[in-house]
Structure formats: structure tokens, C-alpha cells
Structure 1
Amino acid sequence: MKNKVMERNHVTISGSGERTLVFGHGLGCDQTVWERVAPAFENGWRVVLFDYVGSGRSDRSQYRPSDYNSLEGYARDVIEIIDALDLKDAVFIGHSVSAMIGTLASIKRPEAIGKLIMIGPSPRYLNAPGYPGGYEREDVEELLELMERNYKEWAKYMAPASMKNTDRPFLADELEERFISNDPVIIRQFAEVTFMSDVRDKLAEISIPTLILQAQEDSVAPIEVGKFVHEQIPGSTFRVLSAKGHNPHISDPEETISEIQRYLNQESEIGTSVSGRNRGASW
């Protein structure tokens, strides 16, 4: 079972240490998206990277639409990876939709995932009464239709819209290449699952220390969404970055690394004797 899971999700392990960081990539990407961030933690931490089925070098033959018709299916894979590695008190770092996938996994296995770090999270992308998710249903339907009609055109449109940083167009080009490298049929379904999901009611169930990193000018997960996530998670910490766009781990890896390290160091100093539910901060 262990080998099957490791191969299915192309799990890679580097670094050394008693504790483990697990990095979860966002929609349309793969584990290489962490190449500017993950190496900074290899001295002192065991670093685990993986690809969701259908992305990167995962075993795409293992993809069954019925298994991945909700975020729960992806969370199940995360739990299987954690079990295969026999992880305890790991830190799950999730970008975008992976933040919510990590949320679902942590609720089911809080003993295995001891901390959550969310980068650009969104529990619901669609606008709702009193909740500015950022998208109208018609907008999402148009994006999904474009993905189905011409996936490359979707990638060409979505990469710069998500990345921002127009003064560095090579960043959007890099993201576009990642989008195109993945299976368009699978990513299209993953996109529908992502943009139509609503796990707002799950946030209050998070019982572990959580850091929310929010970049500015994020068109995918606006700052109002980041604030909402912070307000809903007991004892969470919210940090607005100077980075712009939805992918600060790509555009501003140094700042991303610094904030993650700062949080981990603070949590280490606080110690496990203090409950994460009783302390909260907004930096």
C-alpha cells in the first residue's frame, strides 16, 4: 500500500529532521511549484512534496472521476500519504485549494497534522450574500467552458491574471507552462470541484494552530476572503504580505520563506503546553 501511494502521487522526500513539512500545490500546478521555497527548509526539517493525481508526474492511470468529484477525494489522498509515511504532528503548507484540502485532512487527522499554513486560501470562490468570494457563477462557468473548448487559451489567460507582477512577465510564462503540462481533462474537473466548493462551515472545526498568508491584489482569493478565513478559524494568525498576486511562493519566495520560518519559530518557542485555540494574532 505504501509503495502504491508513493508512486500514485509521486511523493518525494528531502532534508532531515524530527518533524515534517508537507507541501500541497494548487490547481493546475505540481510539486515543482515549490522549488524556490522548499529547499530553504531541508536543513532541520524533512520535506515532503507530492502531485495530486492528474498533475505533474503522478500516476494518471489512477484517476477516477468519481473518486475526485469533491475536495474530500483529494483530502483522502493526503491522508493516505500521511499514513504511508507514518507522520505525526506534521505541518501542512497548502497553496490555494490545497489550503482547504489540508483543512479537511487535518479535521480528520489532527494527530497527524499539527499545524496548517495556508497561502491564498479560499473556502468558497463564488460570491454569496454577505460573502465576497470573488467570482459570480457566470464567471466560473465561462472559465470552465473555456477550459473545455481550448485549454491552452485558458492557461494563457489565467496565468497572468493569477500571477500579476506584470513587470516580470516570465513568471506568468512559467505558470502557463505548468498549466499546459498537466492533463486538461483532469484539471478541468479539478477546477470545477475547486470553484464550486464551499467548505466555510469546516473552518471552525480546525483545532490546530493555523497561519494564513495573504498576498495583495489577489484576483483569485481576495484579501476579504483571507480575513474571513482568519475570523472563522479559532486562534489563527493572519499575515498580509507585500507580495502581489495569487502565487507569492513563485513571485516572492524570500518573503514567503521568511514568514513561514517566523511562524514556525514562534510556535516552537510557545511550546505545546499552550492550546492553539486560545491564542490568535493579526500581524
Structure 2
Amino acid sequence: MHPILIRNNVKILGEGSQVIVFAHGFGCAQSSWKYITDAFLADFKVILFDYVGSGNSDKDQYDYHKYATLEGYSCDVIDIIEALALKDIIFVGHSVSSMIGMIADIQKPEAFKKLVFIGPSPKYLNDRDYIGGFEAADIETIFTQIAEDYVGWTKAISPVVMSKSEAPELSDFLQECFEETEPSIALAFVMATFKSDYRAELKKLHIPSLTLQSSEDIMAPQSAGEYIHRNTKNNFYVVMKATGHFPHISEPEETIREIKDFIAYQNVTERSDELYA
């Protein structure tokens, strides 16, 4: 087996020829997709992986300098693409992986066909007339809480970001995912995430993309999703009925339907705001 596939714990599933890559967000691993991947196995070749430092990746290969920015994580994506000689992929990124996927597309555009952003944000920090959802003091508080008591932070944040009080088992599942990450790696990843600003790069994206926005999401507010939609060519914007930052866990059927509807629309050549009317 190729060493990259071992390093990133890559799994290849499904019966189809069209490749779809699912990329997990901060604090999670490929297991976070378990509620939706079965729906794609009959028609797609599904690629799952863990970023170095997450899940069952080879954590001995984690490099704090490399992964201090999102470009380090995009290198993982490109390494996997090259190891498997993938072309015309559909990349589904959750949260910070939305921008990681965008970076990878800009660096290796010939490999990508479509992008799906779930709960994306090009910048988390509020900036003049841009509302990312967080003030600088809020972000510093998060860094401090993770550094001082990561487990305590995961217990407090999981039900808030899941936003599914009637299904506490989903918050428990998310907390377990968070706790699988080494606290120092989690802190480095969250710092790379919250310090990022990829607003200027949005204009470099030309392939069709979908922004899936939860109706209520404290991590990625609608203002962030709307900004992506306004500033990205061929981006389609859907506000879901789902709430919280993890609709692929809390509302898998709605998430599956929106992704498949977008994929099925094969001939997107220019922006059409009426596509999802």
C-alpha cells in the first residue's frame, strides 16, 4: 500500500466510477461521515481519510510547523489525490475543510470537478463590515479553554454546536470524536482555523461549488456563507432546515439530498441563483 494511504488512513469504498472525497472538519475524523456515506456507495467511489494528527492517521508524521496553516492540510488532500491518481473529483468538505478543499483546487485544479462546502467560513473573525461570527476576544478565550482543559471544553461545546437537544447521543458521539485528538494538536488545528482569512482566494475558484448553510450555526453564521456565495463564481447557496454546525450528523437525509441534487446538475457553466429556488 502507498505510504500516503497508510499515513492518512485512506479508505476506498463504493461501486461507482465518479470519485467523491469526504473531508472532515476540526476535531473530527472520517468517522464523522458515517451517517451519510452509505447513501453514496452504490453510485460513487467514496474516498475517506483522516488528516495527519486526526483519527487513525499516523500521528508520528504530524509536524507543528507544516500544519500551522491550512495549506499544510491541503497538502494532505493533494498527496492523496496524487497517490491514487484521482481526476474530476467531487470534494465534500465540512467546516474548515471547505477552505482546505478550495486551496487544494487552486493548487491542483485539474483534479477537481465540483466542491461542496458544509458550514464554511472564509474568515471567522469579524472585520469591519464583514461578520465572521467571532470577536478577537472570543477566539482568544477558545484558545485558552482548549489549552487549559480540552476535555472540559469538548463537553461544553459539543451540545452547543450539534444543536440537537432531542438527540443527546449525537452530542456524545461528537464529544468522543473530539477527545480522540491530542489536545496540543487540537489547539494547533483550531489556531490555524481561526487565524485564517481566505476571502481573497474565493475569486480564484471557477468550478461549480455548493454552500450548504445550516439555518442556525454559531460557528459559521449565514453572513459567512452569504459572503462566499456573493464572491465566488458558480457558487450555489442553500440554507438548510437543519440547525447546528454538523448537519451531516444531525440531519443526514437533508444533507444527502442537497449534495445529490447538486451533483446531478451536470451542466453548470455560469451562476444561476434560481437553481435552488
**TM tier, smaller:** over 0.9
1:102 alignment partner in structure 2: 101
SS state at 2:65 partner: helix
Work out the number of aligned pairs and report it.
Answer: 275
SS at match of 1:229: helix
> Aligned AA for 2:192?
V
Query: Which residue of structure 1 lines up, in the alignment, with residue 195 of structure 2?
Result: 196
d(CA) in 2 for partners of 1:73, 1:15: 28
Is the CA contact 1:209–1:236 (under 8 Å) kept in the aligned structure 2?
yes
Counterpart contact for 1:115–1:209, Cα < 8 Å: yes
Alignment of 1:6-17 (within 5 A): 6-17=5-16
**Pairing 1:279–2:271 present:** yes
Letter in 2 for 1:163: M
CA distance in 1, matches of 2:21, 2:223: 27
Is 1:140–2:139 an aligned residue pair? yes
Q: Which residue of 1 aligns with 2:222?
A: 223
Kindly indicate whether the alpha-carbon contact (under 8 Å) linking 1:110 and 1:207 is maintained by their aligned counterparts in 2: no
Please name the residue that 2:18 is paired with.
19
Task: Give the CA deviation at 1:280.
Answer: 2.6
- 1:245-268 per-residue CA deviation (whole Å, 9 max, x = no partner) reads 01000000000001111111122x
Q: Residue 47 of structure 1: SS of its match in structure 2?
A: strand
Correspondence 1:123-272 to 2 at 5 A? 123-267=122-266, 270=267
1:82 match:
81
* Contact 1:9–1:52 (Cα < 8 Å) also in 2: yes
- Output the amino acid matched with 1:134: G
**Identical positions, percent:** 44
Counterpart residue type for residue 174 of structure 1: F
CA distance in 1 between partners of 2:209 and 2:64 (Å): 31
Gaps of 5+ in 1: none
Offset from partner CA, 1:8-57 (integer Å, 9 cap, x none): 11000000222100000000000000001111111111000000111100
Q: What are the Cα deviations for residues 39-81 of structure 1, in whole angstroms up to 9, with x where unaligned?
A: 1111111000000111100000000111111000100110010
**8 A Cα contact 1:16 1:45, kept in partner:** yes
**Structure 1 residue ranges, 4+ long, deviating more than 4 angstroms after superposition:** none
* 3-state SS of 2:3 partner: helix
Equivalent-residue separation in structure 1 for 2:226 and 2:35 (angstroms): 26
Bigger shift: residues 80-89 or 162-171: 162-171
Q: Distance in 1 between matches of 2:242 and 2:51?
A: 26
- Cα offset for 1:281? 2.2
- Contact 1:234–1:280 (Cα < 8 Å) also in 2: no
Separation of aligned partners in 1, 2:148 and 2:50: 25
Superposed CA offset, 1:224-246 (max 9, x none): 11111111111211011000101
- Report the Cα offset of residue 84 of structure 1: 0.5
CA displacement at 1:177 relative to structure 2: 0.9
Q: Distance between the aligned counterparts of 2:216 and 2:210, measured in 1?
A: 19
TM-score (structure 1 length as normaliser)? 0.95
Rounded Cα–Cα distance in structure 2 between residues aligned with 1:102 and 1:137: 25
Q: Which amino acid aligns with 1:9?
A: N
